[in-house]
Amino acid sequence: MKQLLTAILFLPISFFVAGQSCTTAGQTPTTAFPVCGTSVFQQTTVPICASHSLIVPGCTGAAGSANYQDKNPYWYKFTCYQSGTLGFLISPLNQGDDYDWQLYDITGRNPDEVFADPSLIVTGNWAGTFGNTGASAAGISSIQCASDPADKRNSFAKMPSLIQGHTYLLLVSHYTDSQSGYNLSFNGGSAVITDTTKPNLKFAEANCGGDIIRVKLNKKMKCSSIATNGSDFFITPGNVSVTKATAINCSNGFDTDSVEVQLGSILAPGSYTLNIKKGSDANTILDNCDNAIPETDKVSFTLLPLQPTPMDSIEPLQCKPASLRLIFRKPMLCSTVAADGSDFAVTGSYPVTVTGAKGSCTGGAITSREIIISLSQPLYRAGNFTLTLRTGSDGNTIRDECNQQTPAGSSVTFTIGDTVNADFTYQIVYGCSTDTVNFFHPAANGVNSWKWSLDENKTSTLQNPRSSYTLFTTKQISLIASNGFCTDTTSRSFTLDNFLKADFDTYEDVCPNEPTKFTSLSQGRITNYSWEFGDGTGSSQSSPIHIFAGPNATTPFIVKFTVADSFGCEKTIQKTIRVYSSCYLAVPNAFTPNSDGRNDFLYPLNAIKAEKLSFRVYNRWGQLIFETNNWKRGWDGTVKGLPQPSGVYVWFLSFVDRDTKEARQMKGTATLIR
């Protein structure tokens, strides 16, 4: 989008294109193009239209913001077959055009919900830049709004992460008011969005009249690849011609998995094979990546004499089902299904009440072979049950499309597993260097599978695992428990708070017979403190004050500090303390840098309490020849390694008194003697 945010503040912006709603296939979410991740989608032109306002996180809703919309759109639909990142490139045929885009996760949702539910938005890019856009590894992590067209850094978003099994919609919006198109390609990411399943015929069945064969494909395939004259199919044995093929729901999209094949005459009861061949369009049926169903592919079906359609099975149940999906071998008449559920009764391990029933009806006529039976409440407890058909409040059981009634008393059985609970407990066994945590799960309701995430990249599949930790921090633990029917997840955190550290703060240089403060910086659940000051005395306080009588004649004092916690663990640290014979600060008036170990350096003596110290030395011409902030580092009588001549040198000393915090300055002269 071209507008700068600064411009938007002064000029009302609207993306609506008056009187031109989007109706072209592919320009609405429900008619989105199916995506083959290996293909380059070439849109040579883009019809001008707009139908809906859009929510753009971080861009819409703020004062002065632009009104975003599906302007001149095309939509693309795909499924993630392997989790990973999604990379793609939108390359305008005219590099002076501005294209924007937004990605939605519509798993289990109506595609049109993208216009109202912001939670479906994964990411997008509505920058004002021209030319190429898309998602790349080097892209920006946040959604870009109207921005400077010259700032190409905004053109790409960071590749989003896709989740296996989820369904996505990609909106490509052409902001520029032209019909010039673009190329769309998917590359650079690690997610797989191409269905590698080989296309084939799944099954076929004849209708009651024997003149229509309903064909199911093993996945969605291109509507445009199905010859309408039925020339993709032929029937064996016999001499029955195929006159027409109708792809189901192709008026609302580009692909289908269902075809009705019209025959030129009626089949007699018996067994047949539906074969596939190259039709008048020079191909068989193609999937969305243009892979063809092999000409050798075929599927058998049997046309039976008219007889009632039995209840076939109940679709595999999920945990805590609140409804049952009853499957039939033929489509059933919707008008014969009692809405109050009185056609059905459930008996078994405990009472179950049926409250309703409905079919997935098309035009109110027949179902798609399934009836959804509603229950008064979800089935939480394990049990074995029987679903029995009976005469309902409408005076019949149910009838199939051939008007044959399934007999009352027909039944199917099903089994429910217990719900499970992944709640767990734990016991911490504290140690000094390693903590051990024992985890417990009761395995109630038949739980036989455990997947533990135990922090620090530790995992386990045991019921009651044990884990050791050397990092004493907060741990995030999760458990997925399953009995093969129901699954539950629980997460908990706890803190291993027995971290122990010994440390203290004090002055490393102190004066004799003056109080010296020792401040404990230790961490942990400390119960005992033990100080040894190196002069034969000690303390059990946390932060004691100690007076050193005088300097050690040979070496500095070694102060040893030990802390212990409630678990009996100990940590020790020691530091060197030097006690000087005097704290009187003075600068010698002479020094002899002859390396004899006596008076070889010029520096402030006993500057123990001098903070923010600066010591400088000048020669007779006023040139600075030495400077230090460390009073223990003196001048050795050289400049750049060259010995300086004997004579008088001027020194300046500034510092802050540690006790009074008073700033002080001193100056004087010193004679260099050689």
Examine the domain organization and report whether 482 and 387 are in the same domain.
no
147 and 65 in a common domain: yes
Is the pLDDT at 6 greater than 60? The verdict is: no
Q: Which pLDDT tens digit goes with each residue over 212-256?
A: 999 999 999 999 999 999 999 999 998 899 999 999 989 888 999
| Cβ proximity of 572 and 502 under 8 Å | yes
Residues 74 and 176 placed together within one structural domain of the fold: yes
Question: Residue 584: inside a domain, yes or no?
Answer: no
pLDDT at position 279: 96
Residue 547 located in a structural domain? yes
Same domain, 538 and 396: no
DSSP tag of 411: E
Question: Residues 6 or more apart from 536 whose CB is under 8 A from it?
Answer: none
Residues 32 and 140 in one domain: yes
Q: What is the CATH number of the domain that holds 564?
A: 2.60.40.10
Question: Given this model, what pLDDT does residue 363 score?
Answer: 61
Phi-psi region of 595 (alpha: psi -120 to 50; beta: other; left: phi over 0): left
Asked whether the predicted pLDDT for residue 662 surpasses 50, the reply is yes
Q: For residue 17, how many other CB atoms are within 10 A of its CB?
A: 16
In this prediction, residues 128-132 reach a mean pLDDT of 92
pLDDT digits (tens, 9 = 90+) for 7-29: 332 223 333 444 488 988 999 99
Same domain, 551 and 656: no
Three-state DSSP class for residue 187: coil
pLDDT-derived band at 329 (thresholds 50, 70, 90) equals: confident
Residue 72 falls within a domain, yes or no? yes
Q: What is the pLDDT of residue 307?
A: 87
Q: Which of 366-370, 436-440, 629-633 has the lowest mean pLDDT?
A: 366-370
pLDDT score of 324 more than 60: yes
Residue 58: the pLDDT is 86
Give percent of the chain with pLDDT exceeding 70: 96
φ/ψ (deg, to 5) at 599: 55, 40
Of the candidates 620, 608, 611, the residue with the CA atom closest to the CA atom of residue 670: 620
pTM of the entire predicted model: 0.53
Cis upstream peptide for 645 (omega within 30°):
no
If one compares 174 and 13, the residue with the highest pLDDT of the two is 174
**Which residue is associated with the tokens 């198109």?**
181
Query: Is residue 365 very low, low, confident or very high in pLDDT (cuts 50, 70, 90)?
Result: low
Over 50: is that where the pLDDT of 353 sits?
yes
* 111 lies in the same domain as 49: yes
Tell whether the model's pLDDT for residue 62 goes beyond 60: no
Same domain, 438 and 477: yes
Q: Which of 156, 186, 216 is the last residue of a domain?
A: 186
* pLDDT score of 14: 35
Assign residue 252 the CATH number of its domain.
2.60.40.1220
Q: Is the pLDDT of residue 1 over 60?
A: no
Residues 527 and 548 in one domain: yes
Whether 181 and 45 share a structural domain: yes
**What does the pLDDT read at residue 154?**
87
Take residue 20 and report the two structure tokens written for it: 């031109």
One domain for residues 489 and 511: no
Q: In this structure, is residue 636 part of a structural domain?
A: yes
Mean pLDDT, rounded, for 514-531: 95
Average pLDDT over every residue of 642-653: 96
Q: Is 347 a member of any domain?
A: yes
Q: Tell me the percentage of the chain whose pLDDT exceeds 90.
A: 81
Instruction: Band the pLDDT of 469: cuts 50, 70, 90.
Output: very high
CATH code, domain with 618: 2.60.40
Query: How far apart, in whole angstroms, are the C-alpha atoms of residue 390 and residue 373?
Result: 14
Does residue 533 surpass a pLDDT of 90? yes
Q: What is the pLDDT of residue 7?
A: 32
> Contact at 8 Å (CB) between 206 and 77?
no
Reported as a single tens digit per residue, the pLDDT across 140-170 is: 998 998 777 877 888 999 999 999 999 999 9
Instruction: Name 595's Cβ contacts closer than 8 Å, sequence gap at least 6.
Output: none
Gap between the terminal Cα atoms of the chain: 81
Instruction: Indicate if the pLDDT at residue 364 is higher than 80.
Output: no
Q: What residues form DSSP beta bridges with 399?
A: 405
Residue 308 lies in a domain: no
Q: In this structure, is residue 191 part of a structural domain? A: no
Question: How many separate domains does the chain show?
Answer: 6
Predicted local confidence at residue 277, as pLDDT = 96
Strand ranges for 33-152 from DSSP E: 33-34, 40-45, 73-79, 84-85, 88-92, 99-105, 121-125, 133-136
Give the domain range for residue 58: 5-186
| Single-letter residue type at 373 | I
Predicted pLDDT of residue 4: 37
Q: Choose one of 579, 607, 633: the last residue of a domain.
A: 579
Residue ending a domain, among 495, 521, 541, is 495
pLDDT surpasses 80 at 53: yes
Instruction: List strand residue ranges (DSSP E) for 405-496, in order.
Output: 411-416, 425-429, 435-440, 449-453, 459-460, 466-469, 474-482, 487-495
Residue 196 lies in a domain: no
pLDDT of residue 64: 47
Instruction: Identify whether residues 295 and 342 lie together within a single domain.
Output: no
* Higher-scoring residue by pLDDT: 306, 601: 601
The whole-number pLDDT of residue 221 equals 95
- Give the chain's mean pLDDT: 91
